[in-house]
Amino acid sequence: MVFPPASEDKGVDLGSGDVGILNYAYALEQLEAAFYTTVVANASFTSIFSSIEQETLIDIKGHEIIHRDFFYAAIPAASRIPFLEVNFSTIDFSKREEVLKFASIFEELGVKAYNGAGHLIVSPT
């Protein structure tokens, strides 16, 4: 799947109503998918994580990609935000504790976002 590049500005208009909520979720799923893709692709991945942890992180990466792709398909193209470019340059992916710290932060953010905004969706379809 090829995604269009994000615009050059620093902000993204999520829209309003249900579409705005879905775009918000889509942005979060893009962040999580990009994070876990970076984790798994990092040269230190196999040396800082046990084989069970590697399997788990690869599985989580796959789930986040599915979530991202779901929102991409569910939001009409004319209303969908662009594919976002993320910058993880401040995260040291060679340090297990740092990767796990940010994984926890991103997962908590996602849970809080869904809990905070999910009930605001008006149309079930």
| pLDDT beyond 60 at 3 | no
Q: Transcribe 12-67 into DSSP letters.
A: ----SHHHHHHHHHHHHHHHHHHHHHHHHHSTTHHHHS-HHHHHHHHHHHHHHHHH
Tell me the pLDDT of the chain averaged across its residues: 90
pLDDT score at 5: 55
| Residues contacting residue 16 through CB under 8 Å, at least 6 positions apart | none
| pLDDT beyond 90 at 25 | yes
- Between CA 65 and CA 54 the distance in angstroms is 17
| pLDDT beyond 80 at 39 | yes
Closest C-alpha among 92, 106, 124, 121 to residue 17 = 121
| pLDDT beyond 80 at 90 | yes
pTM value?
A: 0.87
